[in-house]
Amino acid sequence: MGPGEQAGQSDGPVILDRPVTLENWQTAPQLHWAFQHIEDLFPTAVISRGVGPVATLAHAVSDLTAIQVTLYDGTVLEVGEIMAATDTDGWIVTRHREVVAEHYPQGMDPDRRHLLMSVSKSLIGTVAGALVDRGLLDPTAPLTTYVPDLGRSGYAGATVRHLLDMRSGIRFSEEYLDPDAEVRVLEQAIGWAPRRDPTVPHTMYDFLLTLEQKDAHGGPFEYRSGETDVLGWICEAAAGERMPTLMSRLLWSPLGAEHDATIAVDSAGAGMFDGGICATLRDLVRFGAMLARGGTSLTGEQVVSPGWLHDTFRGDPDSREAFAASPSETLMPGGMYRNQFWLPYPDRDILVCLGIHGQMIYVNPATGVVGAKLSSWPEPQHAWKLFSTLRAFDAISQAIR
């Protein structure tokens, strides 16, 4: 199936005697292949690495698989056992600029891009931070400052900060197993799912304008993918540039990425900002290393300011309270969500980027350790797999510091 063609045609790839279709590409066993071939299923745009130098990664690979990990229930497993039990397509650990572990247990090519799902959100949040640093985006400004049309949606009165921290009052269900939840209806709008309702708009931005307000803006944290899609729209309007070229210029090129990334786009060319970016595993640790180094990439480029990262780690005085008041279970007591990143611990500065079906970047600035994992869990969410992986990276970080 060629780039730009819709999944579901009869000549699509066959996985275990079943073709990959629009209905099944996010289900096992098809998703293992689909997550590594998004460009073959859907229209995408290139996020160019540019022509600058590649951030070199020295290889000093060790065997970390025997490191013991104490899980939340007291069970002790080895890192290798956790990676084997969590549908891992690839995992990598770096310290400063050295690769200390890199594994592809299911045959994924190291140069193969993989769908990041909601790890994409943290990339969009970083672009927003770079725009704030340049004075082009004001976190306190109403969204209508940049996109006046949002004044006729439920986002009227919301600010950029509300999007960054997912604290608007918008009605948006993130129930992945409910086909009528907004997170799944959004997929109908962009062409990632069969159209169940003919009244659903045919573009991302037209769908976002239909969202309604249910509560006051600035209330509790509630995880909603639509927030990032509006944030991406705001970034484009503030910069006067579409996200693929904007992200290339502000993030991917100065990062010293080795490969181009891609982003899925709708019929009007708008990006799937909340979960449609695809990148290689090694480029994810280059992104994480930049965060661990206070916003400076391994090539020496300042991507975001130390002040933006300080704000990300500290949050507002009520950020942890808003997180604790979330109507959905976060399973991170004392944690926080800030600037499109998860901060899972109240007493350690750890940044985490998360995506459904098992995508993760782990950043520990204190030890210089960065970990990344790309997966194909059969289920969108799985608490044991997520928190076992988080504990594995914690244990690695302590063992090699």
Residue 107 neighbours by CB distance under 10 Å: 10
Positions marked active-site: 118
β-strand partners of 141: none
Joined tokens for residue 220: 């509790």
Task: Read off the DSSP letter of residue 146.
Answer: T
Give 83's contacts (C-beta < 8 A, 6+ positions apart): 65, 91, 103, 105, 373, 389, 392
Joined tokens for residue 84: 């084997």
Give 59's contacts (C-beta < 8 A, 6+ positions apart): 98, 99, 102
Residue 283 CA to residue 286 CA, distance in Å, equals 5
Contact 311, 125 (CB under 8 A): no
Give 47's contacts (C-beta < 8 A, 6+ positions apart): 243, 244, 247, 248, 252, 260, 261, 262, 263, 277
Q: For the chain, what is the largest distance between any 2 Cα atoms, rounded to a whole number of angstroms? A: 56
Tell me the Cα Rg of the chain. 20
For 167, counting Cβ atoms within 10 Å of its Cβ (0-12 exposed, 13-18 middle, 19+ buried), the class is: buried
